[in-house]
Structure 1
Amino acid sequence: MRNVNLVLRQPLTCGSEKARAMGESADFVTPKELAAHLGMTESGLRGWRARGVGPKWVILAPKVVRYRRADVEEWIRAKTEEET
């Protein structure tokens, strides 16, 4: 398994203002938010999903992908433990 060096560029927010206004749960983050948090691109996250790697994701509707905050945090902890 290839090690992934995670660089946290900004805090992981719990959903955008627009998403909260539309009634989305604050327990989910968008691919855009997660990509910013990890310092990578949204297309990089799409590639991970295509290969079945990275944090768990949820498909809420066609073309609506979200990540549970708890799953992302657990994935980061697991990756941190692998690299120590």
Structure 2
Amino acid sequence: MNDAPKHDARGDTAARAVTSPWLDTEAAAAYLSCSPGTLRSWRARGQGPRYRVIHDKIVRYHRDDLDGFVLGEGGR
């Protein structure tokens, strides 16, 4: 049996998203069915779902925050 991780058309980002609740911009955009540019634009305007910045450069979205945003429960 092959235990190698499965990759779909979205590549490695999608495989990581399955194992961690923390998503990078590309995975968060795929999760929300929008473009990464939309998330970057929302961040620049102080809108969109809540996100964290790690070491002043790494942006991560928690899946719970994305779900809350979709349900109208939160954002910036």
Scaled by the length of structure 2, the TM-score of the pair is: 0.65
Q: Which of 64, 67, 72 does residue 70 from structure 1 map onto? A: 64
Unaligned 5+ segments in structure 1 are 1-12, 21-25, 80-84
**Equivalenced residues, count:** 60
- Identity within the alignment, %: 32
Q: Is the 8 A contact 1:15 1:28 kept in 2?
A: no
- Aligned residue identity for 1:16: R
Equivalent-residue separation in structure 1 for 2:70 and 2:30 (angstroms) = 15
Scaled by the length of structure 1, the TM-score of the pair is: 0.59
Unaligned 5+ segments in structure 2 are 1-12
Summarize the alignment of residues 31-70 of structure 1 with structure 2, pairs less than 5 Å apart. 31-70=25-64
Q: Is the 8 A contact 2:32 2:66 kept in 1?
A: no
Deviating beyond 6 angstroms after TM superposition, the runs of 4 or more aligned structure 1 residues are: none
